[in-house]
Structure 1
């Protein structure tokens, strides 16, 4: 399984204006730095919590269907919060693509990882590598306000911490306040 980001978030959970207010920054000289800190803080906290904060699109690529699909006709999507499946493609030995009809599976949204339930079983992949592609959408929502407030606050605190440190203590773990705010949202690693 190889995950690939195919549609980055259109917005950040914290705006530049919100961050500047938090940082008590009036000028525009550091806008580029502050924006970069917001993105870096979001990505760091997404990795820490194993959740995606704002809507984004991903693709999972498999050489062939995992065993679970053959045994239970269910495929786990280990990304959270799971919103929906956009498309499922299966390639034959001649690299021809077959779109799996949306009427042959269910993919209910979930606050945790998602799942795709097939009925009937999907067609087998014919090529030996990258035979299956699944495009899907994850995140709390398309609006910044849909990201839980503690995670938004953690982004602000982490961005302020990094701005103040400016590279000092590069191996320093997350500040305690950031870890405490994000801890309730942290998913345990299943794989």
Structure 2
């Protein structure tokens, strides 16, 4: 599986004012640098833990449905599934009904359980046949 960040967080977990107060900086000269440090710290923590600190939209791409019917997502927590799209051999997309999938939102790593038979799923193309978008 491959994952892509579609939409990053709209805010950082620490504001510029909070960081400047902690650092005892009272001028604006270093604001750009401090903002860069805030983002770098968040990215480091998220990369190390596999957990998003602020809501983000991710896409996971897979070649096929897993045999154990469990999709393990690379970034937790799973807030909601936005869409699941399956591509047939000709590359035509089919958007699948989300009600048939069971998200597990209270675990790390986050998981999605598949039904025994996925309704409306086409025969998948050989590579990248499944796209799952989630927050």
TM-score, normalised to structure 2's length? 0.90
**CA RMSD of the aligned region, Å?**
1.5
Which of 72, 75, 81 is the equivalent residue of 1:85? 81
Kept in 2: contact 1:64–1:125 (CA 8 A) = no
Q: Is the helix fraction higher in 1 or 2?
A: 1
Q: Which runs of 4+ in 1 moved over 4 A?
A: none
Q: Secondary structure in 2 aligned to 1:6?
A: strand
Counterpart CA distance in 2 for 1:55 and 1:125 is 33
Kept in 2: contact 1:104–1:120 (CA 8 A) = no
Deviations 1:64-93 (A, max 9, x none): 222222xxxx32223222212111000001
Q: Secondary structure in 2 aligned to 1:82?
A: coil
Aligned partner of 2:21 in structure 1 is 21
Deviations 1:1-31 (A, max 9, x none): 0000001011100001100111111111111
Q: Which runs of 5+ in 2 are unaligned?
A: none
Taking the TM superposition and a 5 Å limit, the aligned residue runs for 1:128-147 are 128-137=126-135
Give the C-alpha shift of residue 120 in structure 1.
Answer: 4.5
How many equivalent pairs are there? 133
Q: Which runs of 5+ in 1 are unaligned?
A: 138-191
